[in-house]
Structure 1
Amino acid sequence: MDLKDQLKNLFPDHEPNEIPETEEESTIWMQDDPLICKYEKRKGKPITIIEGYTGADSDFKILAKEIKQLLSVGGSFKNEQIIIQGDYRDKIMQFLKDKGFKVKRVGG
């Protein structure tokens, strides 16, 4: 007696719903223009700014969250820019290239 038979004995009126398996679509943000990764100092502290994304804001927020988790640093998403605390241009650019983005380094 397998699990389905046992469940039928316990719940005779229940009709199981077959859920079709759907392929998960990987989120790929493709765009023509490169993302701009630049370095600035604000109030004496270094920050990395990523801008130039042309897709939906919600996708850009997800990307910001992934970058912050990758680097274990703080940051924010404001005015269509991702602001990361610290100078992590090289790591961020490599991460974005692995995701399939074109990236342009600006400043220093």
Structure 2
Amino acid sequence: MSFKDQLSQLVYSTDQGRIEPEQQAEQVPETDGTIKLRRETKGRKGKGVTCLTGFGLAEAELKTLCKDMKKHCGVGGSVKDYVIEIQGDQRDKLEVWLKQKDYKTKRIGG
């Protein structure tokens, strides 16, 4: 959608009243069944985070899974664009924890 299309949206009509924007269905990224674990430091002032991708779950389900992971590791974290970010290098703990939950895992990067 271009910038002009965003500005030309009908917001209010005298016949119908307030127009609600159309709700689009959530598009969950495709997955191959393998959870990819990687460590990232870019854009975080040298602080490392463990990023997990490939779940193929909706945003709400990812948030509950992220909450369980944070509790297990005793650290903070968040979900951004279908990627779970856990603070610190938690790859070893999370790999064992995910295998107990019957997920197939793979380490990406060094």
Smaller-chain TM-score range? 0.5 to 0.7
Q: Cα RMSD over matched residues?
A: 1.3
Amino acid at match of 2:83: Q
Is the deviation greater in 31-40 or in 45-54?
A: 31-40
Looking at structure 2, the residues matched to 95 and 57 of structure 1 have their Cα atoms a distance apart, in angstroms, of 20
How many residues get paired? 78
The two structures have a TM-score, normalised by structure 2, of 0.66
Q: Answer 1 or 2: higher relative contact order, Cα 8 Å, separation at least 6.
A: 1
Structure 2 gap segments, 5+ residues each: 1-30
Amino acid at match of 1:49: C
2:35 equivalent in structure 1: 35
Whether contact under 8 Å (2:32, 2:54) holds in the other structure is: no
Percent identical among aligned pairs is 44
Moved over 3 A (4+): none
The two structures have a TM-score, normalised by structure 1, of 0.67
Please, which of 51, 62, 67 is the counterpart of residue 53 of structure 2? 51
Displacement after TM superposition at 1:32 (Å): 4.8
More helix by share: 1
Displacement after TM superposition at 1:95 (Å): 0.4
Amino acid at match of 2:59: D
1:73 equivalent in structure 2: 75
Larger radius of gyration: 1
Please, which of 82, 99, 102 is the counterpart of residue 101 of structure 2? 99
Displacement after TM superposition at 1:60 (Å): 1.5
